[in-house]
Amino acid sequence: MTSPKPITNNNAFGELLEQLRDEPVVALDTEFHRERTYFPKVALLQLAWRDQVAIVDPLAVDLEPFADILDSDATIVIHASSQDLEVLARSCGTTPRNLFDTQVAAGFLGMSNPSLASLVEAHFGVHLPKASRLTDWLQRPLSNAQLTYAASDVLYLIELREREIAELDSRGRLPWAEDEFQSLLNKVQVSRTPETAWRKIKEAKHLRGKARDIARSVAAWRERRAIESDQPARFVLPDLAVVAIAQKAPTTPSELANIRGLDERHRRGDYAIEITAAVREGQETPIEVTRRPVSNGEISKELRPAVALVSSWISQLAHDEGIDTAILATRSDLEALLRGDEDARLAFGWRAEMVGEPIRRLISGQASLAFGQNGRLALEERSGRPVLH
């Protein structure tokens, strides 16, 4: 590998884009901060191709022209891409047309959320530097240690992709992984709606009736405020306060006085007016509006006992098949299937064949789960002959 190319002006970045224009595979990583902002603030863009590595400074360079490379036929290789895709969507206005995620690919080969360092060590016997992992990437100038760390994050990705493709292909799982890559891209393209923000608050999921409607409304207000001010939602209003407001239902600023989680700024001025307005909006919203999607984690009482048992079978199946359980089927995936959600992951593609359809047969009484002689769960055709008479 040649020494990393520092790209610190738009002219140099334009020349780099010309070099990349016909490259079939480009490795990518980003460094960013979002501890005090709603949107990630990109601090570095690392790129690798063939034997070249470039480190682009987004504080000095406009990244938007990189959209041409993302929209090209090139495959963009990223490790654990979810947050990088969000950064690209915001900085470049688009995401890769073709994505390969080395962490997701490893999941289809039996590894559970492996770090890039663990994969590089396993495949190449190389220990990646760790010292700069939690560094301040917005500081300038960057140190040599920071630049070395940043370059190492893309240095091995292209060859790692080649090795993972060979393994996936030998197991017939490359199409599965490609479907998962596309799902990652689809998730980024779906804009976040403030009206669903309440679902990210753990305690809010246990609320019922008008309390849930108020939580939805207040959380939506909080999300909009966070977006407008570009600060984390918890900085606008803590989760604890959202739940406490939903339970107490204050409709005037004076009633905010004893709400847990609120400080003085919430109890006066625009904040107090907007919070109480959100409460009233939640109270006036028909219950059906917020409860129409049956995706709040609830399934019928008759099927609840099946969740733990089937989850155990899925864990065993994932181990036997050498695939990460979180990729095969999460508990949420199972509950979505049992509820009959239209977009349940286990109802489509390879998951439906491996997991979804067997579960449907189990629930319908056509199959049963039994312990084999080795103590392992086995999904079998049901005989219909009762043991007890």
Tens of pLDDT, residues 163-205: 999 999 999 999 999 999 999 999 887 666 899 999 889 899 8
Quick one: which of 52, 53, 54, 50 has its CA closest to 8? 54
Quick one: which of 239, 191, 235 has its CA closest to 218? 239
In tens, the pLDDT along 324-353 reads 999 999 999 999 999 899 999 999 999 999
Q: Copy the structure tokens of residue 360.
A: 């449907």
Residue 61 makes CB contacts below 8 A (sequence gap 6+) with 7, 8, 9, 10, 12, 13
Return d(Cα 127, Cα 125) in angstroms, integer.
7
Which of 188-192, 221-225, 258-262, 315-319 has the lowest average pLDDT?
188-192
Q: Compute CA 344 distance to the chain's CA centroid, rounded to the nearest angstrom.
A: 16
- Which percentage of the chain shows pLDDT scores above 70? 94
Which of 137-151, 154-168, 275-289, 292-306 has the lowest average pLDDT?
292-306
Dihedral, CA of residue 365, residue 327, residue 97 and residue 2, to nearest 10: -160
pLDDT at residue 64 is higher than 80: yes
pLDDT at residue 286 is higher than 90: no
b/e map 188-225, b = 16+ CB within 10 Å: beeeeebeebbbebeebeebeebbbbbbbbbbbbbbbb
Other beta carbons less than 10 A from residue 6's beta carbon:
15
pLDDT at residue 162 is higher than 50: yes
pLDDT at residue 30 is higher than 90: yes
pLDDT at residue 292 is higher than 50: no
pLDDT at residue 111 is higher than 70: yes
In tens, the pLDDT along 238-285 reads 999 999 999 999 999 999 998 999 999 999 999 999 999 999 999 998
- Which percentage of the chain shows pLDDT scores above 90? 77
* pLDDT average, residue stretch 142-171: 96
pLDDT at residue 305 is higher than 90: no
User: Which residue type occupies 152?
Assistant: S
pLDDT at residue 294 is higher than 50: no
pLDDT at residue 303 is higher than 90: no
Q: Which residue has the higher pLDDT, 93 or 297?
A: 93
Which of 65-79, 98-112, 190-204 has the lowest average pLDDT?
190-204
Task: Name the pairing type of β-strands 41-49 and 25-33.
Answer: antiparallel
Return d(Cα 354, Cα 247) in angstroms, integer.
43
Work out the burial of residue 164: count CB atoms within 10 Å of its CB; fewer than 13 is exposed, 13-18 middle, 19 or more buried.
Answer: buried
* Reported confidence tier of residue 2, pLDDT bands at 50, 70, 90: low
Q: Copy the structure tokens of residue 3.
A: 């020494």
User: Which residue type occupies 54?
Assistant: A
Residue 376: strand, helix, or coil: coil
**ω into 24 cis (within 30 of 0):** no
Residue corresponding to tokens 């490795």:
27
Residue corresponding to tokens 């039994």:
370
Return d(Cα 45, Cα 29) in angstroms, integer.
6
User: Which residue type occupies 29?
Assistant: D
Q: 92-101, 130-139, 186-195 — which one is most confidently predicted on average?
A: 92-101
Average pLDDT of every residue of the chain: 91
What pLDDT, on the 0 to 100 scale, is given for residue 344? 94
What pLDDT, on the 0 to 100 scale, is given for residue 287? 53
Residue 31: strand, helix, or coil: strand
* Reported confidence tier of residue 378, pLDDT bands at 50, 70, 90: confident
What pLDDT, on the 0 to 100 scale, is given for residue 307? 87
* Reported confidence tier of residue 56, pLDDT bands at 50, 70, 90: very high
Which of 204-213, 216-225, 280-289 has the lowest average pLDDT?
280-289
What residue ranges define each of the domains in the chain, with the CATH number in brackets? 5-189 (3.30.420.10), 194-291 (1.10.150.80), 304-381 (1.10.150)
Other beta carbons less than 10 A from residue 25's beta carbon:
17
Quick one: which of 14, 70, 19 has its CA closest to 49? 19
* pLDDT average, residue stretch 153-163: 98
What pLDDT, on the 0 to 100 scale, is given for residue 1? 56
Q: What is the 3-state secondary structure (H, E, C) of 339-355?
A: HCCCCCHHHCHHHHHHH
Q: Copy the structure tokens of residue 109.
A: 């080969």
Return d(Cα 132, Cα 142) in angstroms, integer.
11
Return d(Cα 161, Cα 79) in angstroms, integer.
10
What pLDDT, on the 0 to 100 scale, is given for residue 352? 96
Which of 40-54, 123-137, 218-232 has the lowest average pLDDT?
123-137
